[in-house]
Amino acid sequence: MTAATLSPTLTDRLMDQRILFLGEEVNEDSANRLVAQLLLLSAADPLSDITLYINSPGGSVMAGLGVYDTMQLIPNDVATVAVGFAASMGQILLCGGAAGKRFALPNAQVLMHEGSAGIGGWAADVEIQAANLVRTLDRLRRIIARHTGRPLDEVERDVGRDR
């Protein structure tokens, strides 16, 4: 069952408890829904924590960074919990939780890896796209380093190993 197929009643009950659930790939729809929910919960009570449960194989980096930026923007602490699988952009969102409020359930799996993209077209276009990919991957590594307190060179080594 994905978050998109959760009944409105269930979603409302979770929202009443300040709980959000990402149970699908990160895409424009799931990211926009999470951003809206974060903003609503923050507007209703800017002091209380929000908990985001994550069971996601990852997905769109740009959509996920929109969720990440919103988590950092709002005054609330966002606690993050890995449930099942938090990979790729799911791992970045997990990492973006408030310090001391990032968790993984005992049987959850968290996967950090080097991102990839399908690049094609004219040589000049490929060069531009490749440079953009390098900048984006560097941004993701810096996010991981900032939230984990690990040196950037250590994060760079680990990211290349599907850890």
Among 38-47, 79-88, 128-137, the least confident range: 128-137
Cβ count near 104 (within 10 Å):
16
One of 30, 56, 88, 147 is an active-site residue; which one? 88
Q: Which of 24-28, 72-76, 88-92, 130-134 is the least confident region? A: 130-134
DSSP strands (E only) in 35-156: 50-56, 78-87, 102-104, 109-111
CATH code of 119's domain: 3.90.226.10
Residue 100, sorted as left (phi over 0), alpha (psi -120 to 50) or beta, turns out to be: left
Residue 14 half-sphere exposure, CB side, CA atoms within 13 Å? Answer: 18
Mean pLDDT in residue range 64-73 = 98
Q: How many domains, the chain?
A: 1
Range of the domain at 15: 3-159
Mean pLDDT of 93-109: 98
90 falls in which pLDDT band (50, 70, 90)? very high
Q: Calculate helix-pair angle for 61-73, 123-148, nearest 10 degrees.
A: 40
Task: Note the pLDDT of residue 132.
Answer: 82
SS3 category, 7:
coil
For residue range 105-155, list pLDDT tens digits in order.
999 999 987 766 667 777 887 787 778 878 888 999 999 999 999 999 998
Is the pLDDT assigned to residue 10 strictly greater than 60? yes
Known catalytic membership, residue 147: no
Contact 54, 81 (CB under 8 A): yes
56 is known as an active-site residue: no
pTM for the full model?
0.88
